[in-house]
Copies of this chain bind each other. A is one copy, B any other.
Amino acid sequence: MAMSEPVPLCVLGLGLIGGSLLRRAAVDRPAWGWSPGERTRSAARADGFQVTGSLPDALAAAVAQDALIVLAAPWPAFDELLTAVAAGAPETRLTDVASVKVPVAELVSQRAPAARYIGGHPMAGTSHSGWAAGSAELFSGAAWVTTLDEDSDPDVWADVAELALAAGSRVVPAEAGPHDAAVARISHLPHLLALTLAQVAADGSPLAMALAAGSFADGTRVAGTRPELIRAMCEANADALVPALDDALGLLGVARASLASTGSLAKLTEAGHAARLRYDRRADGLTPITLTGPDLLEQLLSVGALGGHVSAVDRSAGLSATGWTPPLDPD
C-alpha cells in the first residue's frame, strides 16, 4: 500500500457509529464489517456492504490487507473482541469509537498489548441507534478525538486522523485521562441533569407537564436517549463523572442556600452566563498552525490540550499536521 492510499478498514460492530463508519469508509477504500446480528448483516448486505458473521474471517482479512481495525461494538463486548484480536491479528493497527478512553486503553494493554492502538471518539450521534439509523454523513462537522501518548505509533495516528478528516470531522488529539475528564463535564453530566430535570417536572402536577416547552424541552432532550446507552456511557466514566457531579452539586447547593436565605441568585446567574458566552466564543481567535518533526505527538497533545484541532495530515515528506490553535498564553 502506498502511503497516499487510504488504509483499508475492518469495522467490528455495525450499530449507529460502526454502520456509519463502514458506509463512509467504503466510499474511498476497501472496507468490511463484522456483526454478530443476523438481521444487521442482512440489512447491511442489502445496502451493498461487505459483512461477515465470522470474527476470525474479518480479522484474517485485516491481517492480509494490513487494515485498521475499529472496535465499534458496545463496550461490554470489548474484552471478547480484544482477546480475538490478540489471537487473530496481534500486531494490527487498532482504534475504537467508545466515548470513554482510559478503560479502553487499559483493556487494550492487557488483552492485545502488541496492537498499535490509537483511541478514537467521534463525537457524533443521534438519539436513534442500530444499522438503519446510520449515515455516511454522520461525522461531518463533528469533533473526532484521537487519544494517544508519547509512545503511540505516529503512522497509526495518521491513519485514524485521515479517516476522521475524510469523514468531515476535525481531529482533536488528547491524552485519555484529560479526554475522559472533559467528556464527563460536557457530555455525561448534561445527560444526568437532563434526566433529573425530566423527573422533577414529571413529579410535579399535570399542569407542569402541560406547560413544559422551550427551556424544558431543550434541557431534557438527551433524556430521550435509550437509558441503557446513557448508563453504559456514564457508568464507564464514573471516575471522572463523580467529581464533575460533585462540582454541579456544590454550585447548586450554594445557589439553593443563597436563594433561600438572601433571595439572591446573583452568583450563579452571572458566572453561568459568562461561561456560556465563553462557549459561544470558543472558536474566536483560532490561528493556523503546522506541526512536524520528531516530537510531533507531543506537539499534537499540546495543541489539543489548549483547545485546538488538526484539519489536515500530510505524509509526503515525513509526517506533518496542520490545524488551528487558540492563542498561546503570553506568559
Contacts and interface: CB of A to CB of B under 8 A. Distances in A.
A327 to B, nearest CB: 11
Contacts of A274: 202
Given A192-B255, A235-B265, A270 B227 contact: yes
Interface in A151-210: 172, 174, 178-179, 181-183, 185-187, 189-210
Interface centre among A125, A215, A221 (most CB of B within 10 A): A215
Contacts of A181: 204-205, 208
A38 B242 CA distance: 52
A204 B186 contact: yes
A196 to B, nearest CB: 5
Contacts of A187: 211, 214-216
Q: Give the number of times this chain occurs in the complex, counting copies.
A: 2
A194 B203 CA distance: 20
A130 interface: no
Contacts of A219: 190, 193-194, 218-219, 222
Contacts of A195: 268-269, 271-273, 275-276
Contacts of A253: 249
Given A223-B273, A235-B264, 19 more contacts: A143-B211, A186-B215, A189-B197, A190-B219, A192-B265, A194-B219, A194-B272, A195-B276, A200-B251, A203-B275, A206-B326, A207-B304, A209-B278, A210-B282, A218-B221, A231-B265, A234-B265, A245-B259, A249-B256
Interface of A: 123, 125, 142-143, 145, 172, 174, 178-179, 181-183, 185-187, 189-228, 230-231, 234-235, 238, 241-242, 244-249, 251-253, 255-256, 259-260, 263-266, 268-280, 282, 304-309, 326
